[in-house]
Amino acid sequence: MALNKLDPDHWIELDRNYTLRIQQRQELYMRHGKSVLDYLPGSEHACRELMEMVVQFLCARYPHYFQLLNNQSILRNDIIGIETDLRLIHPLHVLLNNVTEDFAIMLRDPETGAYVLRAGIICSSLGWSLGLKLGKNIDGIHEPVPDYGEKLQFSMNRFFAKMPTDRLIQRGSWGIEIDQPIHMPPGDPIALHHETQNPDIALDRYHLRVDWQTLRRLPVSAAMVFSFKVLFTPVTQFQNEPCIPSLFLKNYREAKPNLLKHKNIWHTEATILPALELWEREQKEQGIIPEDWQPATLDDYPYYPGWEERWNANQSLKETHSSAALQSPDPLTVHQMSAESTDCKDTSSPKDEGHSHKRPLRSRILNNDISSHKSSNSSFDSTLSRGLDHIDHQSRSLLKYFSEKVAPAMGPFNTVFNGYRDLILPMTEQDETVKSFLATAASHISLKHCEWKPLASKYRMAAIRGLNQRSTAEYPNKLIDYSSLSTMVLLLVEQMIIVGTDFHILLRMMKSFIESQQCSDLAETEPLGTFLMQQIRKYS
């Protein structure tokens, strides 16, 4: 399995995509709920122990970004400008909001002795999800892995049973993907790429995906914690990295067919193999690698020859742009991430030393910067339909932001129809639901720009006041109060975005409202009602 020791100082790392990844993870939780974050009874102590270890690590390793306040009950995150009350929020939600690593917590079954997945945050899985693996033991989790039963089952179970608390290990799992998919559960439309070879897909859309994985045992609960984070590198970078094209060609040509099938890289061969062959030939013709060199583990593994010069050159280029104003990237939906997210200009690194030694197969020298982004209301295009002329400029900007950034992340991946955008949003022309839209959009922005929090709170309170006022109105002929129902659904979404404490209160309020109006069956006779009831069942 190519395991290596891990220096405990490098257990949790910050990189230049931190803010983007946190936002993507929030959006994934909004869309998939318990399929990406869940916990079973009996895992409470292990969840809290893991959270406390991670928080203490962050505050010790990156004290200029993370601090514990108020008798160590409040975690302050200065990167994204949030404070988290560790006493009120579930430990896994604390990690979701502040850490880009995924975590799987496995506890020993006292009856069978097997380690069972009892809790976790898994936002970076391809072809599976936490919801499908939760409650399974090691063997059940790895059932699809080629040759697991014959070659790995015994050694892995023995390893788990004997691993001490002071030993951390790491490994890398790689694959080639089109664009940068973070989460691809079974049945995801993006997975259709894996079923065909399409030579028309541009080479610059292909990326090496490395899942950097670690494993450690918690000292108190004895839980085994598996963590991993995803890193992407454009395949086109291989052209200028000595030996790398040859090493990848060797893997493509000589790896066992069942392993390549498990990695789902067959669909890349039509484009990737000709490019790798061309780059290998160029490197030999230019004398970068010897003509007779046989691909093998590099002498300076995991570094490739010349990595340091290239890294230094990147630092010089970065310093050239250090005085430029940095603009925070727009929030992206999970399947719309572009390679540009890996090219942001940063000016200071919380950690450069020792970072790259953790990337098996090839050295991934990342510039671990966290930029301080500034927001401006003018950064949001305010062009909306003329039907909203009665709404002020800022509100129109927020409604457009909701339509383009928030709605796609909440509904099914469908560029043609989205219920939030196409059914509920039009109500804002003549309805008080506009306040709940504004609250949701402002809260989404506040994940990266904390100065938007007061405005989000203002809109939230206005939406709740509107609910209270409408609760006294009478709806003749059993008409459904879609305005109130839509407002409550949107406020639920808003609470999910910020992991607010009012989520369960709103959910109970909404269920009571539906029961009092006796409208669940009637609602599903209309498109808007059908959509709202679908969302309510999903959040329940």
| Residue partners of 414: CB distance under 8 A and separation at least 6 | none
- Residue 155 Rama label (left phi>0; alpha psi -120 to 50; beta): alpha
User: Does position 145 have pLDDT exceeding 80, yes or no?
Assistant: no
Tokens of 160: 């788990």
User: Does position 478 have pLDDT exceeding 50, yes or no?
Assistant: no
Tokens of 459: 């809109």
Q: What is the C-alpha separation between 455 and 287, in angstroms, rounded?
A: 61
| Residues 143/183, Cβ–Cβ less than 8 Å | no
Q: What is the residue type of 261?
A: K
CB under 8 A, 24+ apart: contacts of 142-148: 144/262, 145/262, 146/256, 146/258, 146/259, 146/261, 146/262, 147/256, 147/258, 147/259
| Rounded mean pLDDT, 343-363 | 35
Tokens of 277: 């062959």
Q: Residue length, the chain?
A: 540
3-state DSSP assignment of residue 280: helix
Q: State the pTM of this model.
A: 0.60
Tokens of 53: 């270890």
The residue ranges of DSSP E strands in 47-167, in sequence order, are 66-69, 74-77, 82-85, 102-108, 115-121
| Rounded mean pLDDT, 371-397 | 47
- Asked if residue 202 belongs to a domain, the reply is no
- Asked if residue 463 belongs to a domain, the reply is yes
Q: What is the C-alpha separation between 228 and 173, in angstroms, rounded?
A: 10
Tell how far CA 370 is from the center of its chain. Answer: 17
Residue ending a domain, among 228, 263, 290, is 228
- Asked if residue 64 belongs to a domain, the reply is yes
Residue ending a domain, among 198, 228, 258, is 228
- Lowest-confidence segment of 154-158, 248-252, 476-480, 515-519 by average pLDDT: 476-480
| Residue partners of 175: CB distance under 8 A and separation at least 6 | 126, 208, 209, 263, 264, 265
pLDDT at 352: 37
Q: Which residue has the higher pLDDT, 417 or 440?
A: 440
pLDDT at 332: 28
pLDDT digits (tens, 9 = 90+) for 271-309: 999 999 999 999 999 999 999 999 998 888 878 888 888
CB-based burial label for 489 (10 Å; 0-12, 13-18, 19+): buried
Domain that holds residue 482: 377-539
- Asked if residue 168 belongs to a domain, the reply is yes
Q: Where are the alpha helices (DSSP H) in 339-420?
A: 393-401, 407-410, 419
pLDDT at 93: 95
Q: What is the C-alpha separation between 286 and 503, in angstroms, rounded?
A: 62
Q: What is the C-alpha separation between 181 and 34, in angstroms, rounded?
A: 20
Among candidate residues 18, 10, 54, 55, the one with its CA nearest the CA of residue 231? 18
- Asked if residue 247 belongs to a domain, the reply is no
Tokens of 394: 């800022």
Q: What is the C-alpha separation between 385 and 388, in angstroms, rounded?
A: 6
Q: What is the C-alpha separation between 38 and 419, in angstroms, rounded?
A: 26
Peptide bond into 302 cis (omega under 30): yes
CA distances for 474 relative to 236, 253, 434, 517, angstroms: 64, 72, 21, 11
Q: Which residue has the higher pLDDT, 400 or 288?
A: 288
| Rounded mean pLDDT, 161-183 | 90
User: Does position 501 have pLDDT exceeding 50, yes or no?
Assistant: yes
| Residues 506/436, Cβ–Cβ less than 8 Å | no
- Asked if residue 173 belongs to a domain, the reply is yes
CA distances for 78 relative to 142, 272, 302, 468, angstroms: 38, 41, 33, 36
pLDDT digits (tens, 9 = 90+) for 179-201: 999 998 887 777 777 778 888 89
Domain total in the chain: 2
| Residues 205/178, Cβ–Cβ less than 8 Å | yes
| Residues 231/364, Cβ–Cβ less than 8 Å | yes
Confidence of residue 525 (pLDDT cuts 50, 70, 90): low
Tokens of 16: 């230049």
Q: What percent of the chain has pLDDT over 70?
A: 78
Q: What is the residue type of 205?
A: R
- Asked if residue 123 belongs to a domain, the reply is yes
Q: What is the C-alpha separation between 68 and 56, in angstroms, rounded?
A: 8
Q: Which residue has the higher pLDDT, 414 or 115?
A: 115
Confidence of residue 424 (pLDDT cuts 50, 70, 90): confident
Residue ending a domain, among 228, 263, 287, is 228
CA distances for 254 relative to 246, 260, 430, angstroms: 12, 10, 65
Q: What is the C-alpha separation between 147 and 149, in angstroms, rounded?
A: 6
What spatial distance separates the first Cα and last Cα of the chain, rounded to whole Å? Answer: 40
Q: What is the C-alpha separation between 215 and 104, in angstroms, rounded?
A: 10
3-state DSSP assignment of residue 317: helix
Q: What is the residue type of 435?
A: K
pLDDT digits (tens, 9 = 90+) for 53-86: 999 999 999 999 999 999 889 999 999 999 999 9
Q: What is the C-alpha separation between 231 and 241, in angstroms, rounded?
A: 17
- Asked if residue 285 belongs to a domain, the reply is no
User: Does position 344 have pLDDT exceeding 50, yes or no?
Assistant: no
| Rounded mean pLDDT, 415-441 | 76
Tokens of 194: 């894996």
Q: What is the C-alpha separation between 533 and 424, in angstroms, rounded?
A: 13
